[in-house]
Structure 1
Amino acid sequence: MSRKNFPLRISPDLYAALERWAADDLRSVNAQIEYLLTRAAREAGRLKPPPAPAPPPTEPES
């Protein structure tokens, strides 16, 4: 998957909060920001939900 790079200006206080939150979730700050933006966009109906996982294959009955 390709990614779009862009500069982001946020306050030092917000960055510190994101840094702590990312550490709690074992993510980088960048991954935490992407996660939060993705979740917000889905909740607002602006981004399609991820595709549902395929059901596991069933075994034939004997």
Structure 2
Amino acid sequence: MAKKPFALRLDEKMMQAVEKWAEDEFRSTNGQIEWIIHEALKKARRIQSKNGQDSKS
């Protein structure tokens, strides 16, 4: 899967919270943001889970 770079602007407090969360989970900040977006997309049923099934099945 190719990744497409883009700029993301967050306020300082939000960025600090994401950075701390990433540190707590042993992820990079970028990896944490990807994970957050992926989980939100699964919850909204916009993408399928990795096993190919709907995440709410």
TM-score normalized with structure 1 length: 0.79
Any stretches of 5+ residues in structure 1 without a counterpart? 53-62
Tell me the residue number matched to 1:6: 6
TM-score normalized with structure 2 length: 0.85
Output the CA distance in 1 between the equivalents of 2:51 and 2:3.
Answer: 19
Give the RMSD, CA atoms, in angstroms. Answer: 1.0
Structure 1 residue runs of 4 or more that deviate by more than 6 Å after TM superposition:
none
Report how many residues are paired.
52
Larger Rg: 1
Any stretches of 5+ residues in structure 2 without a counterpart? 53-57
What's the % identity of the aligned pairs? 37
